[in-house]
Structures are given as structure tokens and as C-alpha cells.
Amino acid sequence: MPKPHILMTGIALGESPRWHDGRLWFADWGAQELVAVDPAGHGDAILTGPSLPFSIDWLPDGRLLIVSGGEGRLLIQEPDGALTTHADLSNLSDKPWNELVVDDRGNAYVNTIGFDFPDGEFAPGLLALVTADGSVRQVADNVAFPNGMAIAPDNATLILAESYANQLTAFDIAVDGDLTNRRVWAALDGYPDGICLDADGAVWYADVPNQRCVRVREGGEVLQAVALDRGGFACMLGGADRRTLYILAAAWGDEGMAEDARTGQLLTVAAPSPGVGWP
């Protein structure tokens, strides 16, 4: 594949990219800001993020959902800009909550890695379902560092990146939102972080240690790979035709995590198949 184009620099640590309303939105964990970037690379800080880690997605009615991971809350941004609590996740786990994905019925899936990263002793994490009315229940456990998630367009399958298991894990989604039929969707030669799904049913996953972004089909066959010069943290398909792959990359380790380091970049590369999902 061609060398990716650098669209934006000066990012501290970008995560949770989403294509919405003609722009690429992402959470800059280092700057603790929600940023929206137009196709020309102009970025606007939309709001100051809540407690880290935080991630984003949208409800079917257009309201923004935000995971305030450190305090274990799922927030809604109301039309007037105010942030209100949609759900309290702290009763399921007192560890930081991480990634978020929403289906077109308004169900939100949120995961926690289950331990204090990077210094804490490893423990498995879990997935929670937050229904449209704000009720919370656990729907999966014993996941090895759960990270990015994607939902198939028919709302029948959820795919999860298990970073420490080196795999993408799939679940069937029941009518009530429960997750069943857990299985390995793809065993990987890498560490999947953020993921996105395309119209051919393939998954792109970002890989920090291996400094790349990889497209795989179910079963694990590698279809494409984009080499990076720093860690790949997350990816999303967007643009006018949803055929632009946006990649958030940054240095990792002492250099990348220094307080004043802004090694993060937003990269773009043409993709062979458009993204799916909404909005």
C-alpha cells in the first residue's frame, strides 16, 4: 500500500477515532481534549475531556456519548452542551473503563481492561452493556486487555480486540443486547488496539508494538498492511466515500509518554473498501 499521508501533527496521544458529520473526531488523551478534524487537516478542540481514559461514540438521536474512564461513568452531551451522567459503571469494576461502541438501537458496549495499566498486575477485563434507558449489566468477562470494538451493520455481531490474547474475538448479539457464542474471529501476529470494519467484512486493526495498521479477514488472513514509524493506536474509515483510512499513531515508551511530548500524528491512506456503520 502507498505511504500514508500526514494530515495532522502535534497530537499527544490520539485514541477512539470516529467519522461523524464530515469530520474525523478523536480523543487526545495526552491533551485531554476531544478534537474534530476536517478533510484538509484543520482541527478544533470541541471540549476538555473528562477523566482518563476517555472514548466517544454517538447515539442514534445525534447526542454524543463519552466514557469518563477513571470515574467509571458514561456521559451524554446534551443539545445545550452540558454533560450529564447516562450510566454509572463503577459498580461493575473500580478499574478504568476504556473503549465504547454504540449500535443503531442505542445500546452502548463499554469495556474495562481490569487492572491498572501499565504498572498494575495483569487481571482480565469485562464488557458491559448500557441500554438506551441507562441500565447497566455485564455481558462478557475474562477478556485479555479488551480494546477496540466494532459492530456489524446488521447489529448481529460484535468484534472485540483482545490485545493480550493477540486476537480479534467475536460475539453474537442477542435481541436484548446480550453477547453469546464467543469465538476467535482471527488469531493475529500482533497486538490489536483500535479497530474498524469495512464493507467487505474485513477488520483493520492498529498495532502499537509492531508499528503498523493491518487489514484482516475472518480467520486471520492478512489482506493489507500499512507500515508506520511509530505505534499504531487506532484507526477509522471515513471521508466523503468512507474509503479513507485514518490512523492515529504516536511514539510509545519514555519518549512518547513524556509530559511535554507531542509525537502523535493523524495519518491517512486510501483504503480498498469503504467503512460501514453509522452515523
Domain ranges of the chain: 5-270
Cα torsion at 183, 199, 266, 70 (round to 10°)? -40
User: What is the C-alpha to C-alpha distance for residues 13 and 27, in angstroms, rounded to an integer?
Assistant: 8
Neighbours of 261 (CB within 10 A): 15
Contact 148, 234 (CB under 8 A): yes
- The amino acid present at 73, given as its one-letter code, is R
Of the ranges 118-122, 150-154, 193-197, which one carries the lowest mean pLDDT score? Answer: 118-122
Model confidence band, residue 1 (pLDDT cutoffs 50, 70, 90): confident
Contact 205, 193 (CB under 8 A): yes
Model confidence band, residue 256 (pLDDT cutoffs 50, 70, 90): very low
pLDDT digit string, tens, across residues 225-248: 999 999 999 999 999 999 999 999
Question: Long-range contact list for 164-169, CB < 8 A, 24+ apart?
Answer: 164/122, 164/191, 166/190, 166/191, 166/192, 167/192, 168/192, 168/195, 168/203, 168/205, 168/216, 169/143
User: What is the C-alpha to C-alpha distance for residues 105 and 125, in angstroms, rounded to an integer?
Assistant: 25
- Least Cα distance to 249 among 38, 9, 25 occurs for 9
- The amino acid present at 123, given as its one-letter code, is A
Please report the pLDDT score of residue 250 as a whole number.
97
Residue appearing with cell numbers 490474547: 165
Question: Long-range contact list for 165-172, CB < 8 A, 24+ apart?
Answer: 166/190, 166/191, 166/192, 167/192, 168/192, 168/195, 168/203, 168/205, 168/216, 169/143, 170/218, 171/140
pLDDT digit string, tens, across residues 51-83: 889 999 999 999 999 999 999 999 999 988 899
Which helix (H) or strand (E) segment is 213 a member of? strand 212-216
pTM of the model: 0.96
Please report the pLDDT score of residue 254 as a whole number.
55
- The amino acid present at 185, given as its one-letter code, is W
User: Which set of grid coordinates corresponds to residue 101?
Assistant: 461502541
User: What is the C-alpha to C-alpha distance for residues 206 and 208, in angstroms, rounded to an integer?
Assistant: 7
Q: Is the pLDDT of residue 15 over 60?
A: yes
- The amino acid present at 98, given as its one-letter code, is N
Q: Is the pLDDT of residue 160 over 80?
A: yes
Contact 27, 14 (CB under 8 A): yes
Report the pLDDT averaged over residues 217-222.
Answer: 98
CATH topology of domain 5-270: Neuraminidase (2.120.10)
Mean pLDDT of the chain: 94
Report the pLDDT averaged over residues 244-270.
Answer: 84
Q: How many CA atoms lie within 13 A of 263 on its CB side?
A: 18
Q: Is the pLDDT of residue 279 over 90?
A: no
